[in-house]
Structure 1
């Protein structure tokens, strides 16, 4: 580039006021009077350089980038960016691309690592659950009070198991609250968090979860043994079975065990004798499992197996007798492999909202969020006085312009809050708390919406990414109109281009263009030949199939193609004088109809894919040349020299 300014259109007399030396993100190029900043060029240039095997020089890439922006300018001139379909699609992309910017990613990373670390350790626990069926605030309060009372009894020295057996409201009370070993991800998050914070012998405070109030005791901790692949043979013992039936079931299980010891195949016996029909069809094989997924009796016996192929003696569980075989075992997968599963797991519990909540807290500090607590108290007291939040409550506050909360010079009033509340809904249970909660929900939503509205301004990477998506969508649509679709549908243009450039498509080998026809006898073959004389090539297969064949009888089989030697045995024999082809006894009479093309294709349709691609390249070249004449382009060479190449 010899000149300081590269002007590719007639632009004499510009003042260049858009170029300021002190600009932290100077304009590197102007296309059709639209500024393109250095940061956008660097972003695209470095991203493409990392992805391309054939590295382009900076000058080469400037030309590519300029042509890319010219096509975008043409799309804008055609109004593609103003269509509702385009705007809707781009808005959908922005919604997805914005999500990582509206959470505190460090919180998600920390929680994911925490979850993974807890998968590497097992904690042996018992618990007492109170309030399993508590629904109303009053019932929850009573359950919490009861749980606090039981905890005080434990602190006073009463036996945990006895209290669990007496008071706990879930099935573990039958085992004095014992749950066995758990690993990370096997329980609700509040339970897991409390359990993994305890040392052996310690008891938690009262822990609230979606199921009620828990008191947790940890008995021991151990490294997680990994994941196991087991098979089992099950002899089901019915509930309320008589002693005689129980004895017979045990005898059945032990008989199977003796057969296995004598060398019988485990998978075969599982298929034939196991009462677990779901696994029997797979030779008794269970899915890969880890700690905490079986009842204690099964798990204790199964996890005690050391070597692949080892089997247990018959083991009694609440469901019946099991004979268990260890098929395989493996360590926990690396964190990066587990991360997608961990993220999905976190999204289903309290952790799913923690990164968002952390970002809201951060933004409230950054934007000077202020809540008028006096106004909130008035709203709460009104809900208390009215006894519910409904349309009457909304009507009572919908004209109140008193400020409720504000941030970054944005003020939201009580009337705004009335507009935010769901219409047509009545909340009569704990209405005051509902109002407090909804004020928080509204504040969080508004501050996140504000942040989302200024992502392009705040984050250059996001701005560049959105520009990339926007321009990419425009480029695709305008290129499809001007090149791709045009080339595929312009049959006259394709044929004209082919005739002009026919020598480009010279073949190394002769091609036979035509049909291979297999008939059931000479009479059919004669009739087929006669009929073909009156048909154009494109209708041969359809017409002959319809006239000579039925659903139950095939008198002629037709294959159309452009064949080289070695592709079809009948063409090899009849055209290229090769070895005899194998005769189909049902269709023994074979002939070909067509022509031998020795060096060149006859029509562009013979090499349609290649000609279409070349024609597209030609159309694009002509199009780009016209765009360079149509739109002014200016390049700042001084800024170009400062591009940071990664």
Structure 2
């Protein structure tokens, strides 16, 4: 998640305004009695439609899944965590600047800012002594590894899939006043490039690594309700009503977005970057028939060179070399023999997409040799029925695995809530994505 997106998500967590801000609105669905209006759905749908042109019917399950994550986060009271509330309180003016433009602002305050990384292990609010012992044992192992010279970055990557109890985004500038006192106390004792000893907080047990610190200004805090009141107190009734409506909608989106993002983090996330090769390979093996091909493919490469003599030398070097190392090997070959130019194309070629592959691998069609590199040959294998492993169709497997994970998580969430969907109201949604 980019820095600006994260800031926007963090701004209004913990606000206690009601989503039900218009008594006469139409209700699209309820989750355990909490209503989601058609107006809110359209607010999200308009943004998505502008990019993807997805239909209302296809967007609804994704939106429902999103709102179920929000409901589950609220049920576990993540929206009441102290450091969430502090951080959002300090950052609220970022999203309210446009709404408050032209209104009087309090004088900017000089703040201490820090950038840090962390390795954290979650502990429930009322952790048992056994849970604390296990967490302490794990963090002590990390601390020992750090003292033995293993870089903090490398260790942090080992625990990237562990559910982090802290909302602080690693490596981003954060005002010290937004941190709970346990974090501030540790960071204030560190010099840049140093890490702390393990310490407990209300969230769990942690080690922090100080990247940098500085002083800078940040607008004085304004609560979300106070900001809304400023808009409400402004003149021009028509503009005021429109601005209030827009502001409330954006505040709801920001608050819910943070909760959903935190839910994803606590549940391992579903982005392709968080999926291991082992998980993808396992999913591929279980769904191999889904990736069968209608047309044969060739896995390997096309090499263009000067003559048969150069080709013979290249074949010897590449024959036992993995495909993903070909470019390195050919680069080394070119440095050793600068007078022999070589060009290579590697990948997965469907029949009919490359004239050299069609002629040399599938024995059909024809090609016109390059004038500068007239000799061409192929190395690799023909795959008639489908890919050998998930790497051959990695993007497709990542996409399908992510969707499968989302469906599985959504079904689990559905079992924990009472859901009522008004299908008749759904038909009234503006399908053009325009209002």
Contact preservation (8 Å) 1:487, 1:494: no
Is 1:69 the equivalent of 2:63? no
Change (3 A) 1:63 1:614: closer
Rounded Cα–Cα distance in structure 2 between residues aligned with 1:460 and 1:521: 72
Matching residue within 327, 345, 357 for 1:571: 357
Corresponding position of 1:464: 249
Is 1:47 the equivalent of 2:43? yes
Corresponding position of 1:605: 391
Superposed displacement of residue 641, structure 1: 8.1
Corresponding position of 1:493: 279
Is 1:622 the equivalent of 2:397? no
Q: How does 1:314-393 map to 2 (within 5 A)?
A: 356=103
Corresponding position of 1:452: 227
TM-score under structure 2 length normalisation: 0.50
Rounded Cα–Cα distance in structure 2 between residues aligned with 1:483 and 1:447: 32
Contact preservation (8 Å) 1:513, 1:597: yes
Superposed displacement of residue 634, structure 1: 5.9
Secondary structure of 1:576's aligned partner? coil
Contact preservation (8 Å) 1:572, 1:578: yes
Which sections of structure 1, spanning at least 5 residues, go unmatched?
Answer: 1-22, 104-354, 361-444
Q: How does 1:237-256 map to 2 (within 5 A)?
A: none
Rounded Cα–Cα distance in structure 1 between residues aligned with 2:394 and 2:302: 21
Corresponding position of 1:328: none
Change (3 A) 1:25 1:546: same
Rounded Cα–Cα distance in structure 1 between residues aligned with 2:338 and 2:84: 50
Superposed displacement of residue 643, structure 1: 12
Change (3 A) 1:460 1:602: same
Rounded Cα–Cα distance in structure 1 between residues aligned with 2:79 and 2:222: 32
Secondary structure of 2:348's aligned partner? strand
Structure number, greater radius of gyration: 1
Matching residue within 100, 103, 116 for 1:102: 100
Contact preservation (8 Å) 1:456, 1:463: no
Which structure ranks higher in relative contact order (CA pairs < 8 Å, sequence separation ≥ 6)? 2
Rounded Cα–Cα distance in structure 2 between residues aligned with 1:539 and 1:81: 51
Which sections of structure 2, spanning at least 5 residues, go unmatched?
Answer: 1-22, 107-219, 234-243, 431-435
Rounded Cα–Cα distance in structure 2 between residues aligned with 1:27 and 1:551: 72
Rounded Cα–Cα distance in structure 2 between residues aligned with 1:506 and 1:564: 13
Superposed displacement of residue 476, structure 1: 4.4
Superposed displacement of residue 542, structure 1: 0.9
Matching residue within 541, 545, 550 for 2:331: 545
Rounded Cα–Cα distance in structure 2 between residues aligned with 1:585 and 1:61: 52
Contact preservation (8 Å) 2:268, 2:274: no
Superposed displacement of residue 90, structure 1: 8.3
Change (3 A) 1:56 1:24: closer
Corresponding position of 1:207: none
Contact preservation (8 Å) 2:302, 2:377: yes
Rounded Cα–Cα distance in structure 2 between residues aligned with 1:524 and 1:469: 61
Corresponding position of 1:556: 342
Q: How does 1:190-201 map to 2 (within 5 A)?
A: none
Contact preservation (8 Å) 1:487, 1:615: no
Is 1:533 the equivalent of 2:322? no
Rounded Cα–Cα distance in structure 2 between residues aligned with 1:477 and 1:600: 38
Q: Deviations over 1:132-156 (max 9, x none)?
A: xxxxxxxxxxxxxxxxxxxxxxxxx
Count of residue pairs the alignment pairs up = 278
Matching residue within 495, 505, 509 for 2:295: 509
TM-score under structure 1 length normalisation: 0.36
Superposed displacement of residue 604, structure 1: 1.8
Contact preservation (8 Å) 1:45, 1:61: no
Rounded Cα–Cα distance in structure 2 between residues aligned with 1:610 and 1:530: 33
Change (3 A) 1:560 1:628: same
Superposed displacement of residue 592, structure 1: 0.9
Corresponding position of 1:589: 375
Superposed displacement of residue 530, structure 1: 2.1
Rounded Cα–Cα distance in structure 2 between residues aligned with 1:569 and 1:612: 30
Change (3 A) 1:81 1:508: farther
Q: Deviations over 1:114-171 (max 9, x none)?
A: xxxxxxxxxxxxxxxxxxxxxxxxxxxxxxxxxxxxxxxxxxxxxxxxxxxxxxxxxx
Q: Deviations over 1:216-256 (max 9, x none)?
A: xxxxxxxxxxxxxxxxxxxxxxxxxxxxxxxxxxxxxxxxx
Rounded Cα–Cα distance in structure 2 between residues aligned with 1:446 and 1:69: 28
Rounded Cα–Cα distance in structure 1 between residues aligned with 2:420 and 2:336: 70
Rounded Cα–Cα distance in structure 1 between residues aligned with 2:221 and 2:394: 56
Contact preservation (8 Å) 1:49, 1:55: no
Rounded Cα–Cα distance in structure 2 between residues aligned with 1:550 and 1:83: 63
Rounded Cα–Cα distance in structure 2 between residues aligned with 1:504 and 1:61: 24
Superposed displacement of residue 591, structure 1: 1.7
Rounded Cα–Cα distance in structure 2 between residues aligned with 1:525 and 1:461: 66
Rounded Cα–Cα distance in structure 2 between residues aligned with 1:643 and 1:456: 33
